[in-house]
Chains A and B, each alone.
Chain A
Amino acid sequence: MVYPVMTRDALIMLGCPRFPVQTSLAIYLGHRLAGEGISPVFAGNKSTVALLETADPEGWYLGGGCMDLDEVIGALSEGRLDFDLCVVFVHSDADTAYLATVLALSGGLVVAIVFGRDVEGLEERCREVGCDRIVAARAVHNPLPLKEKIDGVKRWLPV
């Protein structure tokens, strides 16, 4: 597939990689965003970034590359970096803290991708911290339920 010219960018922020669907869906989301002309930058801890880079060694889907989670938070906090879109993967209470932080720091549109086992509880928590754009499905090992929800998003950013 030939992607269009990248005119906008997105942060894809990942949590702990304990659930197998996360890495696969993050790369898939990067592909979807690139198809919309949005260059994805991935952020995670050391293991998360290693999983991404191992799965896509040539960087076909990693677009703008990978960054350390703490470095991204620092850059957002200090105004050195921002994105048109921030997509935060949420499968734990700690992830909702990162979501709240991105909501506070970014001027871009923020979307939560909620997965794991307690999807209803996490969706409620996302709303409590101020995020009303949520894509959610119960997914731990099988990415397809959440992939279907991601495919249901017609555009990630307004034209």
Chain B
Amino acid sequence: MAACVEEMDYEILLSRRPIDECSKFIQKRCREVYFVDPGFKILGLHLIGVPPIPIGIEDEHVVIIYVKPCHGAFVLKLPGDGEIERIRSELKKS
């Protein structure tokens, strides 16, 4: 069962924008950014998007693109919940 973002303590940083704009937003905003392929699982969510998909880290939070078919793309800031160390160890910083 896929995780539900509605059950997470999320903050919307960008709402209903084109995917490219969301990607650039994360790269511009976050000092620590990692890139992954579509389908990468973080916080129980499989990321949707055009590769390479950025994941930003801000303090104890992750910043990701979240896509909904009827609402477009969002940039969300979510509590890292232990995922930050995994990302740092598995992925190479850009």
Contacts and interface: CB of A to CB of B under 8 A. Distances in A.
Contacts of B72: 92-94
Interface in B4-59: 18-19, 37-41, 46, 48-51
Contacts of B71: 94
B50 A100 contact: yes
In this complex, which of B67, B69, B73 has the most chain A Cβ atoms within 10 angstroms of its Cβ?
A: B69
A97 B39 contact: no
Interface residues on B, range: 20 to 34
A40 interface: no
Nearest to A95: B69
How would you classify the secondary structure of chain A's contact residues: helix, strand, loop or mixed?
Answer: helix
A144 interface: no
Contacts of B50: 96-97, 100, 129
Contacts of B39: 73, 76-77, 101, 104-105
Interface of A: 14-16, 18, 44-45, 47-48, 68-71, 73-74, 76-77, 92-98, 100-101, 104-105, 129
Given A94-B68, A94-B73, 10 more contacts: A15-B70, A16-B70, A73-B48, A93-B73, A96-B50, A97-B19, A101-B48, A104-B37, A104-B51, A105-B39
